[in-house]
Amino acid sequence: MTKSSYRRNDRDAILSTTMRLIGEKGIDAVTMKEVGMLAGGPIATVYHYFPNKSAILAMLYERFSEVSRARLTAILADVSKASDVIAAADRLLDDYLSRVAGDPAIQDLQNAIQADKALKNLDIAETRHQAKMFCDHVIALLEPEKHERFERMVLLIFQLAGGVVRLALAQGEAESRRTIEDYRSIIHTQLRLFL
């Protein structure tokens, strides 16, 4: 095994251990010492790759974002005409809700991102990036005079999705369903203004 493979394995072990612990205990209860011990190495190994817990969270968020971008790309691949856009938006919302609802560690990571200013800025930048990906794929289907407003509206939809999903996950089942369907209705109404 090469030196870079060892490094990647060490880093991956630290990240997977941290994610598991977050899911079991919550972010606040996870310590760098515990991560090092359970990842199979000394605490110095953890600090070699990550100067603090926020750096680990940033890398976990980046990995979550990479998967999100790949899924967004796959969903957008089915959009070839204006009538496909609303269905793609529905699939994106459902996919995001399913990923976050299905993993307590992701829920806790998403909450922690909002509580840390540097991580929140990463989240805003990622939201801008994904909204741009959506717009870049869809914008050719719209009238040119609508492009700028559409880009602003899509950014808002993407940014609000995180808050709506967090709210839905904090509610009972029936209220959660209503919250998601109300947000879906808002998305549909806004998209129809442009399509």
Tens of pLDDT, residue by residue over 116-153, are 888 899 999 999 999 999 999 999 999 999 999 999 99
Q: Give residue 110's pLDDT band: very low, low, confident or very high (50, 70, 90).
A: confident
Q: pTM (2 decimals)?
A: 0.86
Phi-psi region of 147 (alpha: psi -120 to 50; beta: other; left: phi over 0): alpha
Domains of the chain by start residue, with CATH:
1-51 (1.10.10.60), 54-192 (1.10.357)
